[in-house]
Amino acid sequence: MKFRKKISVSTALGLAPAMLVGLTATGASAHGSNEFPASRIYNCWHEQTKGGQLDEGCKQFIAKDPQALSEWQSVKHGDANRKHHAAVPDGYLASAKSDNYNIQQHLDDHGIPWKSTDLSQLYQNGNEIEFKWSASASHTGHISYYISKPGAVEKADKENRDVNWEDLQDIPFLVAYTHDDRSGATDDTGTGLGALYTNKAKLPNNLPHGKYVVYAVWERMLPGDSPSPLIDKEHQIFGNNGTGESFYSYSDVTL
């Protein structure tokens, strides 16, 4: 089953219409992580479960956190309540210091040679990029995608750390609805309720060649909640009935 849902744009909130797009989903979705560009944990889970050759970064990560991939889809806070800076401290954006931090803490290990997705050709050609969220359960909500500021990753490298909140651009380049659809269509999550949400968007103009992070925040809504576009990376405004549950995805990329 496929469906497309359009987001209405509130120009009064200062968000460009191009940032808010329709969402194509196959099956159901919500819990999960970014498939393209692959988040750190999704890449390792996919390499391990699909029988591929583990890259060096994944080998090191799994050696340090051998149980991490059992909860690949749960880099989350059940009670973030839209206060993402409080829920996810600086220094912990990759792991989100999540509910499963005890088995995933080395997602924040800057010494691990994490695999990076090369988006340079797509970006330099001015193409839209298809962002994919692989999920294992379905809920209504938003996925908001941010990219780091130019030079932020290189600066963080010199300081032997990952990027912090202040290193991300304030406004997401893409915000998309997710839909609660229990069709049971299958994907590679193996749940029978999984989904692949796909969204096409262009990255901001005039980003210089270099290393970047694409950071995604997925926040649930309850049925009947009144969604509004996201204001900035600290405040997602969805009315009064949000569940507070949020998922976080950290993808290393090159432009």
Q: Average of pLDDT values for 98-107? A: 92
pLDDT 10s digits, 171-225: 999 988 877 655 444 345 555 556 778 899 999 999 999 999 999 998 877 555 5
Lowest mean pLDDT among 48-52, 151-155, 166-170: 48-52
Residue reference for tokens 């089953």: 1
Average pLDDT, the chain: 79
pTM of the full structure: 0.82
Give helix 40-49 / helix 56-64 axis angle, nearest 10°.
90
- 106 alpha carbon, distance to own chain's centre: 18
DSSP one-letter string for 196-253 = EEEEEEPPPTTPPSSEEEEEEEEEEE-TT-------SSS-----S-----EEEEEEEE
pLDDT 10s digits, 14-44: 344 345 454 444 333 348 899 999 999 999 9
Amino acid at position 14, single letter: G
146 neighbors 124 (Cβ within 8 angstroms): no
Give dist(CA 10, CA 51) in Å, integer.
45
Based on DSSP, count helices (H) and strands (E) in the chain, helices before strands.
6, 12
Q: Higher pLDDT residue, 231 or 71?
A: 71
Q: Given a cut of 80, is residue 131 above it in pLDDT?
A: yes
Q: Higher pLDDT residue, 19 or 148?
A: 148
Give dist(CA 253, CA 231) in Å, integer.
25
Instruction: Tell me what pLDDT residue 92 has.
Output: 96
Give dist(CA 237, CA 30) in Å, integer.
18
Instruction: Tell me what pLDDT residue 85 has.
Output: 86
Residue 126 is encoded by which pair of tokens? 């001015």
Give dist(CA 96, CA 146) in Å, integer.
15
Instruction: Tell me what pLDDT residue 80 has.
Output: 78
Instruction: Tell me what pLDDT residue 36 has.
Output: 96
- Dihedral angle at the C-alpha atoms of 42, 225, 245, 36, nearest 10 degrees? 10
Measured in degrees and rounded to the nearest 5, phi and psi for residue 173 equal: -85, -10
Q: Is 40 helix (H, G, I), strand (E, B) or coil?
A: helix
Q: Higher pLDDT residue, 3 or 251?
A: 251
